Chains A and B, each alone.
Chain A
């Protein structure tokens, strides 16, 4: 119970700071501009294809493929994941690096709150910011549902994937922020690590055998791909959750080490 209070105190503090600084508004603005642009072009493409299909009513094969989920939302989820790659390090880079640089870590870690409460509070605040951004994109599917019927299950799976992928990336970003006092370094390190976990699966295409399989399993993108197809696999869930836990755990270790160093 006590730990929860500390965690909530941190969460509230971080949200106050997010809302008081331009980072939140700038990243949110550009995220939504990009997401909106991709949704718009996907929809435009879809409407052109639909129009063509209507003219060639005799072509049942083409009409069967006309599914807003595969033509609009799946590519949208795929591209949002790439936007995420740029967005997440910017959300997380401040979290621990700034505490160290400004010396407020000295206050924070002399308050009676556990390291876990600090880490979870900060992680949840970044996740909340991310969820706020994502919530705005729900309007696309809602608007689309007014003119046609959608497979909500598949969309929900896509969003679940986006949330889990985002949470995993945020945990990694938080860890990067614990490594340094410099926000920029934290941002760059977060981006580089994230990119590494993104592309690690590509090695499989080089035909590296078992190693390739392992690398592919470690790749964030491969697991995310299933979600965008509308498939929720426990393996993917387990991967994302253990990825999150692993990096939060590393962050905890990193924080503990501060006591022994200068």
Chain B
């Protein structure tokens, strides 16, 4: 598969502050990749470098085979970029703004009208065509930002927090919009919203303090972290006795009693202890009401990777 984004030891200093530290990752054409990290981790800096707006201090980044520094124009011609906070020209109407963007991107005069109409429809901007950009609501601003990025259908879309500040129904709309780009475009998006990333993205890159801490599919990430097996049980029986019995099962590391007969069991070694646990509960005559393995969510992965344990 073709490589759309490729970075080699990408490093950026702001003065003496290290913003990103030797990032190495690749994104294949057609992938939707989520870029996660706490505030100040270097997400926006990385995206700005990929969009050829900032130059890296050292290292290289290639978009569509072009270097972001020496072949910046070709890089810019192959991407649509939605910056953080969606900057717009407040004194231009939606259509005027898109006309400018289309011309700046070199959309041919004959196709300009059709192309603008296409992105306006795709982003649901038909009703605000004559509204000044400065008077748009947050949701429409975001859509206009996305619309300008979609002009001329660039192979790569870089979206910095595309759903931030939107209400839930708008988030769903934008998400559907991005999902529809699957296949025809490569999308790299940054986000704080973890369920969004796990729904939308084929792959997640997590960075913290300027370094990549994880780079995998959302499922694999959960599994990796889930090398400790977690099982949730609900048992009808004397709590302390049940807890003691569960602890006796080979492989169990921890039993947490959560009250009302609910227990959380953590086991190491990646072995499936469901059968053993069930037998343990049933043998003394207690009733097993519920038994469920619990998957680690992306939140757990994220927190686990980005927060340091206090010692």
Contact = CB atoms under 8 A, between A and B. Distances in A.
A40 interface: no
Nearest to A107: B87
A12 B100 contact: yes
Contacts of B54: 259
Contact of A112 (B14, B73, B88): B73
B91 interface: yes
A10 to B, nearest CB: 7
Contacts of B55: 259-260
Given A102-B87, A107-B83, A260-B55, A112 B76 contact: yes
B53 A112 contact: no
Contact size range, A = 20 to 34
B89 interface: yes
Contact of B85 (A2, A103, A114, A259): A103
A97 to B, nearest CB: 14
A25 interface: no
Contact size range, B = 20 to 34
B108 to A, nearest CB: 10
B51 A110 contact: yes
A262 interface: yes
A259 B106 CA distance: 23
B104 A111 contact: yes
Interface in A115-167: none
A6 interface: yes
A110 B81 CA distance: 7
A2 B87 contact: no
B175 interface: no
Given A9-B103, A111-B104, A260-B55, A106 B87 contact: yes
B19 to A, nearest CB: 9
A113 B52 CA distance: 12
Contacts of B90: 102
Interface in A1-58: 2, 5-6, 8-10, 12-13, 16-17, 20-21
B240 to A, nearest CB: 59
A17 B91 contact: yes
Contacts of A245: none
Contacts of B48: 106
A141 B291 CA distance: 96
B77 interface: yes
A-B pairs, top 3 by smallest CB distance, nearest first, are: A103-B87, A9-B103, A112-B77
Interface of A: 2, 5-6, 8-10, 12-13, 16-17, 20-21, 102-114, 259-262
9 contacts: A5-B103, A8-B103, A106-B53, A107-B83, A110-B52, A111-B76, A112-B104, A261-B14, A262-B15
